[in-house]
A and B are shown apart, each in its own frame.
Chain A
Amino acid sequence: MTASTVAASTADPAVGSPSESPAGARGHNAAAPRGGRDGNPFRARQRRLYIPFVAPAFVLYLAFLIVPLAGTFWISLHKWPGSGPMQWEGTRNYTYLLHDPVFLHSFRNTLVLLFGAGAATFALSFGLTMLLRDMVGRSTARSIIFFPNIVPALVLSILWGFLFQADGLVNKILGLIGVHHPPAWLAQNHLYSMILLGVVWTSTGFYTTIIMAAVDRIPPYLYEDCALAGANAWQRFRHVTLPLSWDVIGICAVLWTINAIKTFEFVLAMAGSSSGLPTPEVWTVSLYAYASAFASSGVPQYGLAAADSIVTLVLVAVLVFLIRRVMRRDTIEF
């Protein structure tokens, strides 16, 4: 339930389709502003609106996000317990991170979440999208799929406990079908996988909703033609769905990267008690920052938390840049 993390993550998926929708609208918009650039008096007057229109949003953004971010960078060069004088450390917090096995493990966990859970989420989202495309009751289904995003992480963590603990529902069902020695789902060595499962479950609803919106815009005749040409489901996906929703997938990949790296609430909620932290075995980089600053005892290490946040942000920036590079190609007009 925490923070704008959720605000952003809840909100994010919607970005996809309208902004980069593959449909022809794009052609228009490219033309519209450019057409006006030379000498059209209406255009000239219109452009006078630019600064007053953008300025309020930009000022807010600058004052409450960019300036504090610069502050965070400054803090990351210090040792600071949150009040009182700051002690200059230079890059020491950063070199410490490189040597801290817990950070490296958290970093690895984050990458596993990013790529492992990411692959699962996207595979499931595409699967659901394809299945939902022709189903009766699709709009009901897609609304309900979105629903886990509204439920607080705390509830999910309790639910996961009741489902997967030693005498939980899953093991009872497995017992009924003859599996008497099921894995210890919530034991330390499996706990992170169970957390990933929860993340995949909630995220799938999200990305399905976006990808569906994009796929909906693909004219049905293309699929009909495909079917006629004897293409199977995979071929239809490969040659129609994928290329025609490519831009939206690119946006989804960016959003996923950002949200995956910011994931921490569900992990924190799995800790079980209100004040404690979960075992470092399941930390992500976000949780690492949180733990450094908010541990229930000990001197808060805000410098370290800030350094971790900056590293995280750099990771986001690099990945987003790479995704954009990899995904870039010509828009298909249809």
Chain B
Amino acid sequence: MKRNRHIRVVVTACIAGALAMTSAACGKSSTSAGSDGGKELTYWSMYKEGEPAQVALKASIGAFTKQTGIKVHVQWQGRDVLTKLQPTLNRKPAADLFDRNLAPVKSLMVPAGTASDLTDVLSTQIPGENKTIGDVLPDSYRSLGEVNKKLVVLPYNVVATGFWYNAAKFPTLAASPPKTWDDLQKLLDTQKAAGHAPLALDADIPDYNAYWYTSMVVSQLGVNSFHKAAGDKTGATWDQPGYLKAAQQIQKLASGGYFVSGYKASKFPAIQQKWANNKADFVIMGSWLPGEVKTYAAAGFKYASFPIPGNGTTASPVPSTAYGWVIPTKAAHRTAAEKLIAFLYGKAQMQSFADSTSTISARSDTTPSDAVAGAVASMKTNGTYQTDDAVNQDYADWWTKVFEPLDDKLITGNLTATAFIAKLKSQSVDYWKHAL
């Protein structure tokens, strides 16, 4: 570890041009990084020491070194891994391999061409198995790591967004989930009539509010419909009826008292906590939810989810995010990094990672935990699309400054559907007129 740090310091010191401002020449020659003998690599992880994911990965990496003799210098960097790595990517990346989800890779690396295409890695054979990575990675997951047909993030595990509930309270729902928004509306009405709060939402988190409108638009109008409207500089797309309809549906939920009381004036995770203690029935959330609330959920809570309902003719695909492997274009030890990926894709490794983290493995032949089994099944039948229709990735500034503030008001009942669409349109036109 110590040696590795030394290497990194030297490497880091050499990227004087990283910030385009310094021209300080770097006199020292990098002694260590030069030749790629395939005998070592540096891996920066998005996990921190002590996390279940880190424990699982550490064990797997240990096994890898034992089997191949390739030494892996690991830094458990945490979620800021790319922010820290970014300054080094143009010259000599400080890591040969790291893991992250698509959004930051797409905005920080793809434009600068610093993320390599991993499509060819799919044909790598998994050690000890008669299969390649591509054989066990379903298309619906693979596409979550692609930008313009280039696989920049090779998915390792997947987060699926859907309606979460307590299966102990709704034992029949798994077999017959609501197929359309009307079905769902009926279910909510029944619950409300029985004196239950049907819905939970921590409305102080704009991204959570956004799940509702974006997934509703996509389920009505199909994948890419929200993305198209968001990028429409004339704003005309918003006038198409489906967008208003989705807003009206939300207005109905907001003004009809379907959300548990206090949802618009609490601080996360207060409402989530209510949901986990059976004081509200359903919540739209990513599949990390069971893991996150387990320390304060009611005893006997059985986590289950059903997908966002469709429009009656087609089932709605599942909003999903992939976390996976990234190799910088200029990585010094690419071969070794690819070997590690292939090793970690082994069934035993993938299964143990999924088991210890309760996440959804990107490998199709692993067995999911009970909590996420339903989500895995719906991704298989309905297909996937990027969470928030990738708008939060591609039009992040518009998303934060124009969409989310209006959406917050809509879902807290402070804006009618018509006013929402009208403002969304006019503010978007204005935004794009001045956009940088």
Contact = CB atoms under 8 A, between A and B. Distances in A.
The answer to A–B direct touch (Cβ < 8 A) is yes
Contacts of B175: none
Contacts of B103: 296-297
Interface residues of A, number: 58
Nearest to B204: A272
Contact of A161 (B205, B263, B270, B400): B270
Contacts of A71: 21
A276 B270 contact: no
Given A84-B112, A165-B262, A276-B205, A160 B267 contact: yes
A92 interface: yes
A224 interface: no
A184 interface: yes
B1 interface: no
A167 interface: yes
Given A71-B21, A83-B89, A93-B436, A184 B112 contact: no
Interface in A71-107: 71, 74, 79-86, 89, 92-93, 96, 99-102
B289 interface: no
Determine which residue in A157, A165, A184 has the highest number of CB atoms from chain B within 10 A of its CB, and name it. Answer: A165
B404 interface: yes
B412 A187 contact: yes
B266 A280 contact: no
A165 B260 CA distance: 13
B401 A100 contact: yes
Interface string A263-279: 00000001111111111
Contacts of A274: 79
B108 A99 contact: no
A83 B19 CA distance: 6
A226 interface: no
Contacts, number: 143
A101 B18 CA distance: 33
Contacts of B270: 161, 165-167
Interface residues of B, number: 49
Interface string B417-436: 00000000001001000101
Interface in B91-126: 103-104, 107-108, 111-112
Given A92-B436, A165-B266, A279-B405, A295 B400 contact: yes
A204 interface: no
Given A276-B207, A295-B400, A281 B436 contact: no
B396 A304 contact: no
B86 interface: yes
A189 B265 CA distance: 10
A56 interface: no
Contact of B112 (A83, A187, A273): A83
A300 interface: yes
Contacts of A100: 401, 434
A185 B265 contact: yes
Contact of B404 (A89, A189, A279, A303): A279
A188 interface: yes
A242 interface: no
Interface in A266-312: 270-281, 291, 294-301, 303-304
B265 A165 contact: yes
B266 A161 contact: yes
Contacts of A79: 436
Given A83-B112, A299-B107, A301-B436, A272 B267 contact: yes
Nearest to B83: A294
Interface in A60-79: 71, 74, 79
A222 to B, nearest CB: 48
Interface string A131-173: 0000000000000000000000000011011101111000000
A186 B408 CA distance: 13
B434 A96 contact: yes
Q: Looking at A71, A92, A272, which has the most chain B CB atoms within 10 Å of its CB?
A: A272
Interface string B170-207: 00000000000000000000000000000000101111
B268 interface: yes
Given A166-B261, A166-B262, A279-B405, A299 B412 contact: no
B396 A298 contact: yes
Q: Could you say which of A84, A161, A277 has the most chain B C-beta atoms within 10 Å of its C-beta?
A: A84
B20 interface: yes
B206 A279 contact: yes
A239 B396 CA distance: 56
B147 to A, nearest CB: 13
A311 to B, nearest CB: 15
Given A272-B202, A297-B103, A86 B266 contact: no
Nearest to B112: A84
B262 A299 contact: no
B383 interface: no
B401 A298 contact: no
Nearest to A85: B20
Given A83-B19, A184-B264, 12 more contacts: A84-B111, A96-B436, A166-B262, A187-B264, A187-B265, A272-B205, A273-B268, A279-B206, A295-B396, A299-B107, A299-B111, A303-B436
Interface of B: 18-21, 79, 83, 86-87, 89-90, 103-104, 107-108, 111-112, 202, 204-207, 261-270, 392-393, 395-397, 399-401, 404-405, 408-409, 412, 414, 427, 430, 434, 436
16 contacts: A74-B21, A79-B436, A81-B111, A83-B86, A83-B89, A83-B112, A157-B267, A161-B270, A165-B270, A166-B265, A167-B270, A272-B267, A279-B204, A298-B395, A299-B107, A301-B397
List 4 tightest A-B contacts by C-beta distance, closest first.
Answer: A298-B396, A166-B262, A161-B267, A184-B265
